[in-house]
């Protein structure tokens, strides 16, 4: 996967090709001139809410048209090319299901529509893959959010697609389900599938994807190896606000610590600490407070949101 | 090999298992409890009217029955409202519920999704309206089977045309029901009665024309002037096909939620 072509396999066409794609709704630009390629493995599509991830994914899977540019899946056009869906599985962000259908019927329904030769066997296999055999004969309207997501994943993979496009698939799952889900996706990637998964949660993608595409305000802010991007993020100091009963005493103690870039006192008496070594601050701050007999009232990161983290990359 | 055998073979070759799945799914979606209760109640009304007119003190003359039962009740109100409730939901509810992607993200040409949806709406609407129409006609016209058959066929043609129109409307807008009601009462009910040119593009008038074409005793009163048989038959077929094609085109071009 690359945004600039540096990591692409030039001999094989990419599984997903997005070439100068834009999409606007009236005067609002949702996606602006984005280009990248995706190869087999797990690629994370990361960005804050309303960054344009869903619009981009919908254009990639053909649910929405592009205003400008080209999208190709497995070297074929995607829009108005239904035969591509024999090789592609899509899980949209909506959690809607046919509530009156039971899980097994729903997965079998999708298997039959995709022309799977033995829909019953494929259905049983897909349901066992997501570990929902016990609930497969219950109407989907009675499922929890996480169960619906897993059954929708079963329907998405029932025809063993080469490319999987998953829009925020971990929404609504509890931590245990999330771990199961991630393990499933890793297994599929190990089988050589191409998986493009979107999320607005940095940690979610960090645990899954080696390569990421970072979308901010409809533009591709960064792309490539996750660790390289993370390192780039770590070059920026974190902003931490600390409220205490003795801000000036605490400031003098923090200034003496290593790897602190700056300490400022803001207008309401809080300390704004800039540091590249967040762990050290986390470790040392309680000890400093105890030593100085200072009461810590609140410690909060000012730039923990994805928007501000991405701001470093684009700004 | 008879012509019917050839038609049957062409239909079986075109109609595939995936279309049966979508047809069955749509029947199930449309057969919601409240929707069925409402359309059955609507369908019972003309039967009640027929019974009361048949056994009332003053027997209406046939042209009055034509005007009140076939034109006034079925063609102008009951049929379009029943079909509106079914056909706008057939695809419109999939858009509203965001389940349409379960159908379009499959290796199916768009017409293979639209056609079974349309046929499912016609099946339920046709069954309810035709049964209601035939029973009402048999009661009102005192067992006149020719009248009952003519009315049954004409109502079925009307169900097909309206279903195609409202299926498309359900895809075009989330306010399909409201716009459809306005269309039924303003265009079909009001304007087509007063503006003669509109009769040529009115499904209600086509229903009356088809009834009269099959049974020339219907709408033969001095003040009744149905559109020509050919116009009515061509009109029904044209509306059904044109809006079917428009629905397919819409599904190909729209952003699916």
Tell me the pTM: 0.85
β-pair partners for A200: none
CA distance B54 to B72: 17
Q: Are the beta carbons of A113 and B98 separated by less than 8 Å?
A: no
DSSP conformational letter for B221: S
* C-alpha count within 13 angstroms, C-beta hemisphere, residue B38: 14
Which chain B residues touch A96 with a CB distance below 8 Å? 97-99
Which chain B residues touch A141 with a CB distance below 8 Å? none
CA distance A270 to A242: 6
Which chain A residues touch B105 with a CB distance below 8 Å? 61-63, 85, 88, 90
The residue written with tokens 């219907």 in the block is B218
Residue A8 is predicted with a pLDDT of 45
Taking the Cβ of residue B102 and every Cβ of chain A, the question of whether any pair is shorter than 8 Å is answered with yes
Which chain B residues touch A57 with a CB distance below 8 Å? none
Taking the Cβ of residue B16 and every Cβ of chain A, the question of whether any pair is shorter than 8 Å is answered with no
- Pairing, β A260-265 against β A219-225: unpaired
Q: Where are the alpha helices (DSSP H) in B55-188?
A: 62-65, 79-96, 101-104, 111-140, 145-172, 176-182
Which chain A residues touch B255 with a CB distance below 8 Å? 58, 63-65
Query: Alpha carbon of A115 to those of A87, A92, A120, A165, A311: distances in Å?
Result: 11, 21, 12, 20, 46
Interface of A with B (CB under 8 A): 58, 61-65, 80, 82-86, 88, 90, 92, 94, 96-98, 100, 109-110, 112-115, 155
Residue A204 is predicted with a pLDDT of 79
Which chain A residues touch B29 with a CB distance below 8 Å? 98
Closest residue to A82, CB basis, from B21, B25, B106: B106
CA distance A133 to B195: 63
Which chain A residues touch B109 with a CB distance below 8 Å? 82
CA distance A270 to A248: 9
Q: Are the beta carbons of B28 and A82 separated by less than 8 Å?
A: no
Instruction: Give residue B38's Cα distance to chain centre.
Output: 16
| DSSP code string of chain A | -BSSSTT--SSSPPSEEEEEEEEEETTEEEEEEEEEEE-SEEEEEE--TTSSHHHHHHHHHTSS--SEEEEEETTEE-TT-GGGGGSEEEE-S-----TTSBHHHHHHHHHHHTT-SSHHHHHHHHHHHTT-GGGTTSBGGGS-HHHHHHHHHHHHHTT--SEEEEESTTTT--HHHHHHHHHHHHHHHHTT-EEEEEES-HHHHHHH-SEEEEEETTEEEEEEEHHHHHHHHHTSPEEEEEEES-HHHHHHHHHTSTTEEEEEE-TTS-EEEEES-HHHHHHHHHHHHHHTT--EEEEEESS-SHHHHHHHHH-
Q: What is the pLDDT along chain A (315 residues), one digit of tens a residue?
A: 444 444 444 567 899 999 999 999 998 999 999 999 999 999 999 888 888 999 999 999 999 999 999 999 999 999 999 999 999 999 998 888 999 999 999 999 999 999 999 999 999 999 998 889 999 999 999 998 888 988 999 999 999 999 999 998 888 778 887 888 888 899 999 999 999 999 887 777 878 888 999 898 899 988 888 777 766 666 777 788 899 998 888 998 898 887 788 898 888 888 999 888 878 888 889 998 998 899 999 888 776 555 556 666 555
Which chain B residues touch A92 with a CB distance below 8 Å? 98, 101
Q: Are the beta carbons of A94 and B257 separated by less than 8 Å?
A: yes
**What was the ipTM of the complex prediction?**
0.89
- Report the run of H or E that residue B210 belongs to, with start and end: helix B203-214
Which of the residues B32, B96, B102 would you substitute to probe the A interface, choosing the one with the greatest number of A C-beta atoms within 10 Å? B102
Cβ atoms of B128 and B82 closer than 8 Å: yes
Residue-wise pLDDT tens digits, A153-192: 999 999 999 999 999 888 877 888 788 888 889 999 999 9
What six digits make up the tokens of B124?
């339920």
Residue A83 is predicted with a pLDDT of 96
Taking the Cβ of residue B27 and every Cβ of chain A, the question of whether any pair is shorter than 8 Å is answered with no
CA distance A21 to A27: 16
How many interface pairs between A and B have CB atoms less than 8 angstroms apart? 63
CA distance B252 to B6: 30
Domain boundaries, chain B: 31-253
Residue-wise pLDDT tens digits, A93-136: 888 899 999 999 999 999 999 999 999 999 999 999 888 999 99
Q: Are the beta carbons of B107 and A85 separated by less than 8 Å?
A: yes
CA distance B70 to B136: 9
Is B252 or A3 the better-scoring residue by pLDDT?
B252
| DSSP code string of B4-58 | HHHHHHHHHHHS-HHHHHHHHHHHHHHT-HHHHHHHHHHHHHHHHHHHHHHSSSS
DSSP conformational letter for B199: G
Residue B100 is predicted with a pLDDT of 97
CA distance A66 to A57: 11
Closest residue in B to A65 (Cα) is B255
Q: Are the beta carbons of B105 and A64 separated by less than 8 Å?
A: no
């Amino acid at each position: 996967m690359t945004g600039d072509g540096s990591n692409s396999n030039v001999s094989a066409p990419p599984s997903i090709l997005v070439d100068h794609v834009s999409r606007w709704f009236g005067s609002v630009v949702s996606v602006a001139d984005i280009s990248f390629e995706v190869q087999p493995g797990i690629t994370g599509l990361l960005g804050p809410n309303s960054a344009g991830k869903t619009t981009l994914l919908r254009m990639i899977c053909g649910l929405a048209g592009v205003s400008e540019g080209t999208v190709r899946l497995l070297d074929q056009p995607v829009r108005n090319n239904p035969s591509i869906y024999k090789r592609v599985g899509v899980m949209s962000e909506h959690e809607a299901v046919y509530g009156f259908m039971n899980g097994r019927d729903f997965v079998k329904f999708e298997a039959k529509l995709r022309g799977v030769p033995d829909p019953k066997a494929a259905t049983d296999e897909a349901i066992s893959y997501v570990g929902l055999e016990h609930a497969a004969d219950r109407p989907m309207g009675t499922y929890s959010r996480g169960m619906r997501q897993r059954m929708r994943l079963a329907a998405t993979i029932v025809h063993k697609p080469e490319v999987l496009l998953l829009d925020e698939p971990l929404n609504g799952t509890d931590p245990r389900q999330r771990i199961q889900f991630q393990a499933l996706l890793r297994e599929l990637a190990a089988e050589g599938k191409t998986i493009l998964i979107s999320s607005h949660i940095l940690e979610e993608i960090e645990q899954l994807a080696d390569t990421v595409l970072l979308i901010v305000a409809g533009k591709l802010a960064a792309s490539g190896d996750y660790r390289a991007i993370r390192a780039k993020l770590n070059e920026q100091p974190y902003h931490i606000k600390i409220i205490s009963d003795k801000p000036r005493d605490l400031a003098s103690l923090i200034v003496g610590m290593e790897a602190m870039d700056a300490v400022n006192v803001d207008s309401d008496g809080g300390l704004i600490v800039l540091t590249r070594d967040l762990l050290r601050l986390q470790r040392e701050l309680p000890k400093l407070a105890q030593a100085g007999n200072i009461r810590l009232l609140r410690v909060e990161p000012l730039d923990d949101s994805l928007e501000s983290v991405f701001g470093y990359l684009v700004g | 090999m008879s012509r019917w055998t050839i038609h049957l073979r062409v239909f079986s070759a075109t109609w595939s298992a995936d279309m049966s799945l979508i047809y069955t799914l749509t029947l199930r979606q449309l057969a919601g409890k409240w929707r069925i209760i409402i359309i059955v109640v609507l369908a019972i009304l003309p039967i009640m009217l027929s019974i009361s007119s048949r056994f009332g003190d003053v027997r209406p003359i046939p042209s009055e029955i034509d005007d009140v039962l076939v034109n006034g009740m079925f063609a102008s109100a009951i049929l379009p409202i029943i079909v509106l409730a079914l056909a706008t939901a057939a695809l419109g509810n999939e858009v509203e519920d965001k389940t349409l992607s379960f159908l379009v993200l499959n290796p199916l040409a768009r017409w293979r999704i639209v056609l079974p949806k349309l046929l499912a709406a016609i099946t339920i609407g046709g069954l309810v309206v035709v049964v209601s129409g035939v029973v009402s006609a048999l009661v009102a016209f005192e067992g006149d089977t020719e009248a009952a058959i003519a009315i049954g066929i004409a109502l079925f043609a009307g169900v097909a045309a309206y279903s195609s129109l409202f299926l498309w409307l359900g895809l075009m807008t989330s306010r399909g029901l409201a716009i459809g009601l306005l269309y039924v009462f303003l265009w079909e009910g009001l304007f087509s009665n007063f503006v003669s040119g509109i009769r040529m593009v009115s499904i209600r008038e086509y229903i009356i024309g088809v009834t009269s074409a099959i049974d020339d005793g219907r709408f033969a009163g001095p003040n009744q002037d149905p559109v020509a048989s050919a116009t009515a038959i061509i009109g029904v077929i044209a509306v059904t096909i044109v809006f079917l094609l428009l629905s397919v085109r819409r599904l190909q071009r729209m952003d699916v939620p």
